[in-house]
Amino acid sequence: MVSDPLSNFIVGLKNAQAVGKATLVMPASKLKETVGELLQKEGYIKSITRRKKANTLEVTFFDLTENKGIKDIKRVSKPSLRVYKGFDELHPFKNGFGSYVISTPKGLMTDKQAVKEKVGGEVLFKIW
């Protein structure tokens, strides 16, 4: 039994990218699909598709020859310790090359979008 499906999704992405897999298939949920769409929009993954019949998500990664993709992901807010930040507390890390993914009242967004819209929320994870 998985107590934190988002952490399982994040670790799956990190491990699959690290070993050079082309795709990753995981059980689907609305949160995972939304996170995947955000990561695709930000250029960390190539594509994400939902297979309704099998109720799975298929994540396609960039080739290792391309200098794109996920270098590392770290979970910030966990079920045992929730981390909340206001938009004025969100500072760039990795010289601006990294992003925080934040759950806000306006939906999931990156730290740059949250600062632009002046909204804070729960910091789910950081990615670079």
At 50-87, the pLDDT tens digits run 999 999 999 999 887 777 888 899 999 999 999 999 99
Pair type for strands 107-110 and 56-60: unpaired
CA distance 48 to 57: 7
Q: What is the pLDDT of residue 1?
A: 47
Q: What is the pLDDT of residues 4-34, one digit of tens each?
A: 899 999 999 999 988 889 999 999 999 999 9
Are 44 and 69 contacting, i.e. CB atoms less than 8 angstroms apart? yes
Return the CA Rg of the chain: 14
Residue ranges of domains in the chain, CATH in brackets:
5-60 (3.30.1370.30), 73-127 (3.30.1490.10)
